Chain A
Amino acid sequence: MSFIEYGDTIKDGDTAIVFLGHESMFPVKVQHGTVTQTKYGVIRHSTDLIGKKYGSKVTCSKGGWVFILHPTPELWTMNLPHRTQILYSTDISIITMMLELKPGSIVCESGTGSGSLSHALIRTVAPTGHLYTVEFHQQRAEKAREEFREHGVDHLVTVTNQDVCKNGFGVSNVADAVFLDIPSPWEAIGHAKSALKAEGGRICSFSPCIEQVQRTCLAMEEYGFTEINTLEVLLRVYNVRTISLQIPDLGKAAEDNSGAGFDSSNPSNQGSLAANLQQGTVQFKSGVPLREMVGHTGYLTFATKS
């Protein structure tokens, strides 16, 4: 397995995802002789994991079971250990498309943070592209390097520990795209421009606050970027549920049954409503929105280097 290439069977050293149920999962480093505790019991790597097909059901010691999944950047994003606030797949998707990333692309990113976006970028530019990622926090930079190594993608990424606003990305005139997720992106626009290839490079800046966006757009204009465009994207999830609604009792129009009230024995009424009229309910399937949803992550500003 690797984050950039599918494999069929679980091997020693793989990072696999243990799926317990609805939105309940966690990553695990597969290792001979190790065990992993879950609420359904113990998983023994040597017997339960290694050699099994990805997607298999594994029964744990207490009798409950889990599924073992092949890692993907999307699953990694949902399960990685947070060192910073991360970008989720909704934003990552639009960033990838708007920056026109594809196999062979050269991308620059700062800050690396917890590596959520990094993994997704590496996956997209593989096998011939490269990610230059800059992180000013020394431990985070080191942790990122370690993870890329463990995930078998270190040949596609270079982690540099420096301040992108002062020292740039470490490359010039080669990048197809630059991504900024830092507190003061306007201070890095100049460096972004020099990292980008001569013509047609794309830039994206992600900022939670509109004031940051304003400063960044101004800087982009000053540095001659064109097609400057700011947008935001939000995910709305629906739960599929069968809903039963009660029919209210409005009484009878007259003492006998020949009234104008709702008559459940009338064939035309039965046709138009679902079953359970006898119980006084109507059933239907609905996509129910969640009670709460993410209302804001950040504004995404894109532009082109002319």
Chain B
Amino acid sequence: AMEGCPGVRIREGDCAVLKRGEVFKAVPVLRRRKIIFEKQWFYLDNAIGHIYGTTFEVTNGGNLQPKQEVEETTTETKEAGTDNRNIVDDGKSQKLTHDDIKALKDKGIKGQEIVQQLIENSTTFRDKTEFAQDKYIKKKKKKYEAVITIVKPSTRILSTMYYAREPGKINHLRYDTLAQMLTLGNIHAGNKMIVMETCAGLVLGAVMERMGGYGSIIQMYPGGGPVRAATSCFGFPKSYFDNLHEFPLSKVHSLLSGTFSTETLPSDPEDNALVEEESNGLTDEKQTSLQETEEEPTTEAPMEINQAEEQETMYINTEDVEFKENKEKENKENVREKQMKQWERRKKLTEAAALLREKNADGLIVASKFHPTPLLLPLLEFVAPSRPFVVYCQYKEPLLECYTKLRERGGVINLKLSETWLRNYQVLPDRSHPKLTMSGGGGYLLSGITVVLDKGKSDSSNLEALKMEEPSPKRCKVQDLHC
């Protein structure tokens, strides 16, 4: 536990999140790496060693400097107006021009000073009401006092960031909807979870955070491999990944029908490139270079291309016997390495398959771009009875269909189709109200609990359906429940 922990420090290699107001951006903490954020550019070098949560200013040289705690000059009762009836917005009330302000910035004048200058050079400032003055100052501060806070990534930070910056990558899953999923799914330490998501790994990361490294997760993935871009931002310790498995969707049906084998693995671009090189035939130049960018650059790689393009090579000594002998050795090593990797992958796949075959998962989370029905019904087979499942969909209609199919299948109860409505507030003395803009939609959830599946009893499943869907007027109120 983190008892009495003085605060986590920013370390090189971390994934940190820059925050300015309500704007977030995830960046790797690397020395001499230029970062551009909110129209400013700077290096993170000076931030290393500071505690997460520290606020910095950007100096003229592009370096970060912790912001000094400045005593806010308490505005003594300054001159202010009562309303805006006489204030004309002709765009001429600010006497400083763009160039004037630029000159101030170039001189290295601090943001605070610039704001002060703007106030002094505004002809209408003293006519504004106190509230309007407050609002004006806040607005100018936001623009000219560029402070950046470096925060530690968490589900809260990353889900808010992704929703604001790249909602398309997470199927427009709003952060409060994600929060519901984690709770409805009873995600906690020790679970054996099945996760199927195409949200850049954000949902996986959120599940991992709530499991704290305890238990196990099997991530189902489409295509060649799971995308875990967001997951790496969380900064989990390596041990968390020991019990993270993955399994290809393309093998689900064979696993359920009992015909699963590891002989035919899902196509892997890396494998293809290596296979073609071995055959020493016409190497697909494109694929080789693809493979190169995926692997760590080694001295062999460029030489391998050259081997295939011997006629066009610019290297001298290609005819050298010694050179050829070394090439053969390298080839053999590569083959061995490739075989080792394949063996590793097969082993992991077999492990994941074994875990799934036990059909005793403690829960299922689905949040993807795919239609939920063909995903949910097969994957539920792997879940134990009396366990929650949650399906997210950006749209409501596919979940209507999913609900219907689940009713037909049976083995689920307490089905609920829902969405959450979220509103942020501005709270200020005499000026409290909901904020002016809000999200129009954050996606929909279908949740339920598994029960022992009564196969082959169609009469009782109809009865169940009837029982489950009492028409609204007869539905008992929550207070009347205790029989």
Q: Are A106 and B212 in contact (CB under 8 A)?
A: no
Contacts A20-B483, A69-B449, A236-B421 given; does A287 touch B400 at CB 8 Å:
yes
B68 at the interface (CB under 8 A from A): no
Any B CB within 8 A of the CB of A5: yes
Beta-carbon contact of B384 and A55 below 8 Å: yes
- Min C-beta distance of B47 to chain A, whole Å: 15
Q: Which of A125-133, A136-144, A248-256, A274-282 forms part of the interface with chain B?
A: A125-133
Q: For chain B, give the interface size range.
A: 35 or more
Tell me if A261 counts as interface (CB < 8 A to partner B): no
Verify A285–B5 contact, CB threshold 8 A: no
* Contact between chains at A21 and B467 (CB < 8 Å): yes
- Select B425's contact among A129, A232, A239, beta carbons within 8 Å: A232
Q: Report if B423 contacts A (CB, 8 A).
A: yes
Shortest beta-carbon distance, A236 to chain B, in Å?
5
Contact among A100, A124, A210, A306 with B188 in the assembled complex (CB-CB below 8 Å): A124
Task: List A contacts of B386 (CB < 8 A).
Answer: 53-55, 67-70
Per the 8 Å Cβ criterion, residues 165-192 of B in contact with A are 175-176, 178-180, 182-184, 186, 188-191
Q: Which of A163-221 contact B (CB under 8 A)?
A: 173-174, 176, 197-200, 210, 213-214, 217-218
Contact A4 B188 (CB under 8 A): yes
Please state if A37 and B483 are interface contacts (CB–CB under 8 Å): yes
B452 adjacent to A55 (CB under 8 Å): yes
Q: Does B385 contact A (CB under 8 A)?
A: yes
Main secondary structure of the interface of A (DSSP, over half): mixed
- Does any Cβ of B come within 8 Å of A92's Cβ? yes
Does any Cβ of A come within 8 Å of B308's Cβ? Answer: no
- B256-312 CB contacts (< 8 Å) to partner A: none
Q: How far is the CA of A78 from the CA of B159 in the complex (A)?
A: 28
Nearest residue in B to A217 (C-beta to C-beta)?
A: B427
| B223-252 interface with A by 8 A CB criterion | none
* Complex contacts, A25 vs chain B, CB 8 Å: 481
Question: Which residues of chain A come closer than 8 Å to B183, judged between CB atoms?
Answer: 74, 89, 92-93, 96, 120
Instruction: Please give me the residue from chain A that is nearest to B7 by CB atom.
Output: A199
Contacts of A68 in B (CB 8 A): 386
Min CB distance B81 to A, Å, is 25
A230 touches B400 (CB 8 A): no
Do A72 and B155 have beta carbons less than 8 Å apart?
Answer: no
Contact of A214 among B419, B429, B452 (CB under 8 A): B429
Contact partner of A286 among B214, B400, B467, CB < 8 A? B400
Rounded to whole Å, the gap between the CB of A15 and the closest CB of chain B is 13
In the complex, which residue of chain A has the Cβ closest to the Cβ of B419? A236
A103 touches B186 (CB 8 A): no
Total of A-B residue pairs, C-beta within 8 Å: 227
Contact of B212 among A6, A23, A102, A285 (CB under 8 A): A102
- Expressed in whole angstroms, the Cα–Cα distance for A79 and B482 within the complex equals 8
Contacting residue for B186 out of A123, A233, A235, A291, CB 8 A: A123
A199 CB contacts on chain B under 8 angstroms: 6-7, 51-53
- Expressed in whole angstroms, the minimum distance between the Cβ of A75 and any Cβ of chain B is 8
A6, closest chain B residue (CB) = B362
Q: How far is the CA of A278 from the CA of B165 in the complex (A)?
A: 51
Whether the pair B190, A5 counts as a contact (CB closer than 8 A) is yes
A129-B1 in contact (CB<8A) = yes
Residue pair B184, A26 in contact (C-beta under 8 Å):
no
- Are A24 and B476 neighbours in the complex by a CB distance under 8 Å? yes
**Pair A306/B156 contact, Cβ less than 8 Å:** no
In the complex the two chains form, is A103's CB within 8 Å of B404's CB?
A: no
Q: Does A240 contact B (CB under 8 A)?
A: yes
Nearest CB on A from B442, distance (A): 10
Pair A285/B404 contact, Cβ less than 8 Å? yes
Asked if B467 and A97 sit within 8 Å, CB to CB, the answer is: no
Contact B427 A236, beta carbon cutoff 8 Å: no
Report whether B4 and A173 are in contact in the complex, using a CB–CB cutoff of 8 Å: yes
B209 interfacial by beta-carbon distance below 8 Å? yes
Report whether A23 and B400 are in contact in the complex, using a CB–CB cutoff of 8 Å. Answer: no
Judge whether A244 is part of the interface by a CB distance below 8 angstroms: no
**Which A residues are in CB contact (< 8 Å) with B472?**
239, 290-291
Chain A residue with Cβ nearest B180: A93
Q: Is the CB of A174 within 8 A of B451?
A: no
**With contacts A57-B454, A123-B188 known, is A128 near B156, CB below 8 A?**
no
Bound-complex Cα distance A228 to B432 (A): 14
Question: B1 contacts which chain A residues (CB < 8 A)?
Answer: 104-106, 128-130
**A264 an interface residue at 8 Å Cβ cutoff?**
no
Task: Report whether A22 and B470 are in contact in the complex, using a CB–CB cutoff of 8 Å.
Answer: yes
Return chain A residues, CB-CB under 8 Å to B71: none
Asked whether, in the complex, the Cβ of A54 is within 8 Å of the Cβ of B385, the reply is yes
Distance in Å: Cβ of B103 to nearest Cβ of chain A: 33
Question: Restricting to B1-59, which residues have a CB under 8 Å from any CB of A?
Answer: 1-8, 51-53
User: Given the complex of chains A and B, what is the CA–CA distance between A70 and B363 in angstroms?
Assistant: 13
Q: Are A72 and B7 in contact (CB under 8 A)?
A: no
Instruction: Specify which of A70, A98, A213 is in contact with B156 (CB 8 Å cutoff).
Output: A98
Q: Which interface residue of B183, B214, B416, B419 has the most chain A CB atoms within 10 A?
A: B183
Asked if residues A19 and B188 are in contact (CB atoms below 8 Å), the reply is: no
Q: Which A residues lie within 8 Å of B418 (CB)? A: 235-238
B201 near A: Cβ within 8 Å?
A: no
Q: Restricting to A44-101, which residues have a CB under 8 Å from any CB of B?
A: 53-57, 67-70, 72-74, 78-79, 89-90, 92-94, 96-98, 100
B24 vs chain A, min Cβ distance (A): 12
Assess whether B184 is in contact with A8, with CB atoms less than 8 Å apart.
no
Say yes or no for A245: interface residue by CB 8 A criterion: no
Q: Which of B182, B384, B388, B469 contacts A96 (CB 8 A)?
A: B182
Q: Which of B180, B386, B454 has the most CB of A within 10 A?
A: B386
- Whether the pair B212, A240 counts as a contact (CB closer than 8 A) is no
A247 on the B face (CB < 8 A): no
Docked CA distance A74–B363 (Å) = 14
How many Å lie between the Cα of A280 and that of B154 in the bound state?
A: 55
Partner of A22, one of B212, B427, B469: B469
Q: Is B454 a contact partner of A233 (Cβ separation < 8 A)?
A: no
Per-residue contact bits, chain B 366-400, to A (CB 8 Å; 1 contact, 0 not)? 00000000000000000011111000000011011
* Cβ contacts under 8 Å, A198 to chain B: 4-7
CA–CA, A38 to B482, complex, Å? Answer: 9
Is residue B478 within 8 Å, beta carbon to beta carbon, of the partner chain?
A: yes
Known contacts A93-B182, A233-B420, A100 near B191 by CB under 8 Å: no
11 A-B Cβ contacts within 8 A?
A20-B483, A26-B481, A54-B386, A55-B387, A72-B388, A74-B186, A104-B212, A126-B189, A197-B3, A230-B424, A235-B419
**Which 8 pairs of residues, A with B, have the shortest CB-CB distance?**
A55-B385, A103-B212, A55-B386, A199-B7, A93-B183, A97-B179, A54-B386, A230-B425
5 new A-B pairs (CB below 8 Å) besides A72-B388, A127-B189? A70-B386, A70-B387, A78-B478, A197-B3, A229-B424
